[in-house]
Amino acid sequence: MFDRRLVSNFDWVLLLTVLLLAGIGIANLFSATSSWHTTATPLYLKQLLWLSGGVSIALFLCLFDYRHLEHYAIHIYSVSVFMLVYVLLLGKTSMGATRWIDLGFINIQPGEVIKIAIILLLAKLFSDTTSPNGYCLGELLKPGLVLAVPFILILKEPDLGTAMMVAFIAFTMLLFAGLQQKTMMGIGVLGVLAGIAGWFGLHDYQRTRIRTFLNPEADPLGSGYHIIQSKIAVGSGGFFGKGFVQGTQSQLSFLPERHTDFAFSVFAEEWGFTGCLVLLFIYLFLIVWGLYVARRASDSFGLFLAVGVTAMIFWHIVVNLGMVIGLLPVVGVPLPLFSYGGTSMVTTMIGVGLLMNVSMRRFIF
Per residue in 4-15, pLDDT (tens digit) is 666 778 899 999
Rounded to an integer, the average pLDDT of 113-130 is 92
Residue 311 lies in a domain: yes
Judge whether residue 1 has pLDDT over 60: no
Q: How many domains does the chain have?
A: 1
Express each pLDDT in 177-231 by its tens digit. 888 888 888 878 877 887 777 767 666 766 777 777 677 766 677 767 878 888 8
3-state secondary structure of 323: helix
3-state secondary structure of 161: helix
Residue-range definition of the domain harbouring residue 15 = 5-360
How high is the pLDDT of residue 303?
A: 95
User: Which of 253, 244, 203, 200 shows the shortest CA–CA distance to 226?
Assistant: 253
Residue 75 lies in a domain: yes
Express each pLDDT in 74-96 by its tens digit. 999 999 999 999 988 887 776 66
User: Which of 121, 109, 120 shows the shortest CA–CA distance to 83?
Assistant: 109
| Helix axes 263-296 and 225-236, enclosed angle (nearest 10) | 80
How high is the pLDDT of residue 364?
A: 62
The 10 Å Cβ neighbour count of residue 40 is 7
Q: In Å, how far from its chain's centre is CA 141?
A: 25
Q: What are phi and psi of 92, to 5 degrees?
A: -85, 130
| Helix axes 300-324 and 110-128, enclosed angle (nearest 10) | 140
Residue 211 lies in a domain: yes
Residue 92 lies in a domain: yes
The fraction of the chain above a pLDDT of 70, given in percent, is: 91
Residue 174 lies in a domain: yes
Helices (H), the chain: 5-8, 12-32, 43-61, 69-90, 110-128, 141-155, 160-177, 181-201, 204-214, 225-236, 248-251, 263-296, 300-324, 342-360
Residue 101 lies in a domain: yes
Rounded to an integer, the average pLDDT of 320-336 is 89
Residue 298 lies in a domain: yes
pTM: 0.91
How high is the pLDDT of residue 4?
A: 67
Rounded to an integer, the average pLDDT of 55-69 is 93
Q: Which contiguous run of DSSP H or E holds residue 101?
A: strand 97-102
How high is the pLDDT of residue 362?
A: 80
Rounded to an integer, the average pLDDT of 16-40 is 89
Q: What is the mean pLDDT of the chain?
A: 87
Residue 365 lies in a domain: no
Rounded to an integer, the average pLDDT of 266-281 is 95
Name beta bridge partners: 179: 135
Half-sphere exposure of 339 (CA within 13 A, CB side): 24
Alpha carbon distances (Å) from 170 to 41, 88, 146, 164, 309: 37, 23, 9, 10, 11
CB 348 within 8 A of CB 356: no
